[in-house]
Structure 1
């Protein structure tokens, strides 16, 4: 019923754009500190990008803002060309659920739920009790991550790599425009990490969703199409690798 790939993938379009984005803590206090200093970059649907930087560079703060879990002090974040800074909590939450998928270093699966139920969770939050079509979609995702027949297993019955595969399927359940992966292979052995990374690559291509991987590992970032380097709250380098496709903007009136 479901096919991942298409013969004619959609043209690349802007998914995420940061415009002069700043973030400070302890505003108007003697201890006020600015941790992000005017961040500017854009990610298109065709891009599989990495955000790297040392500990304390501001990666986690920036990821929370991109994921609409926190707000910038100034500047603007556009998601699918929609400004987000002035959104209230309800609209921010709705936009996050509709447009962003999250994969973390630790899978954060619900132990009492089966693999299938964990994948269905984002859909249940949005729509209530899942229907047959949603269950078929979740089963398809489970098969796509190599876990056909594991739908009834609890997280404790799966290996670490298998749990991360379920987490990836869960992140894709809502067909997000943007997939954020925070150290997605940092808790896995080398071979499992490589298979997880290749899976993310395949889903990026098949779903035409933008992927932004946050990592401290330059070896991982070098295998991405693009590497954005953050140091002390500044973007010091934004490098597209030779094999990376060049994004093109699409006129909304065409």
Structure 2
């Protein structure tokens, strides 16, 4: 666990807005002034109908796109006006991504796929990095399968490799976009438990985008997006309620 995520807020959105075709007759605003906070150990679901703005918001939070107005703070750093180099470095070190489709490189082994984010960041991985990747594969139940290529693994096993890859940089924030949508119910439950495990043990905040009410109900907090606005932000009984100002009505 890194000292960099010791602060209270991993993610803070402040009046976040996103428009497309800015300055043109077809300009449309998709996100309308969102305020949201995620802290270490938060485990939140982001839900909403198609067209509600979930994908747009996820792209902004993942530093894959920039807001039109407002600010997005990641680990206390304002990101809207960051240059590309700093944005790329922060995204690579602070955020882990897991998608519905694992996007593994077929020519690489499971171990090499897990090492990929570190290879991109540092070049040739050192012994410490390799040991960390092996340990993560063991944590997700794939010890002994490190040299297998994706086509030699089941769908659930491939998604476990993707989870290990997302966590190898020890991110402060894990973004999961429909991560179990392509899995059977047993494999989906196993992947969800992996998120839980690493949320507890590494303290990384988790934001899980899902259409599956069974998954959102298992999260500690549910953020509902409706027409580009946060309609509700509720914590489960026994969990800390989001701070005042963390929702837009």
Match in the other structure for 1:37: 32
Match in the other structure for 1:125: 120
* Partner secondary structure for residue 230 of structure 1: strand
Match in the other structure for 1:72: 67
Match in the other structure for 1:214: 209
Match in the other structure for 1:111: 106
Q: Please give the residue correspondences for 1:1-254 in structure 2 after superposition, counting only pairs within 5 Å.
A: 13-245=8-240
Deviations 1:84-122 (A, max 9, x none): 001011110011001000000000000000000000011
Count of aligned pairs between the two proteins: 240
Query: How far has the Cα of 1:46 moved from its partner?
Result: 1.9
Deviations 1:196-245 (A, max 9, x none): 10111011101010000011222211110100000110100000111324
Unaligned runs of 5+ in 1: 5-9, 249-254
Structure 1 runs (4+) deviating above 4 angstroms are: 245-248
Q: Do the aligned residues in 1 keep the contact of 2:234 with 2:241 (CA within 8 Å)?
A: no
Query: How far has the Cα of 1:12 moved from its partner?
Result: 6.9
Separation in structure 2 between the aligned mates of residue 244 and residue 167 of structure 1, nearest angstrom = 29
Query: How far has the Cα of 1:123 moved from its partner?
Result: 0.6
TM-score, normalization: structure 2?
Answer: 0.93
* Partner secondary structure for residue 91 of structure 2: helix
Separation in structure 2 between the aligned mates of residue 15 and residue 31 of structure 1, nearest angstrom = 35
Q: Do the aligned residues in 2 keep the contact of 1:115 with 1:150 (CA within 8 Å)?
A: yes
* Partner secondary structure for residue 131 of structure 2: helix
TM-score, normalization: structure 1?
Answer: 0.92
Separation in structure 1 between the aligned mates of residue 38 and residue 25 of structure 2, nearest angstrom = 36
What is the root-mean-square deviation of aligned Cα atoms in Å?
A: 1.5
* Partner secondary structure for residue 107 of structure 1: coil
Unaligned runs of 5+ in 2: 244-249
Separation in structure 2 between the aligned mates of residue 241 and residue 247 of structure 1, nearest angstrom = 11
* Partner secondary structure for residue 21 of structure 1: strand
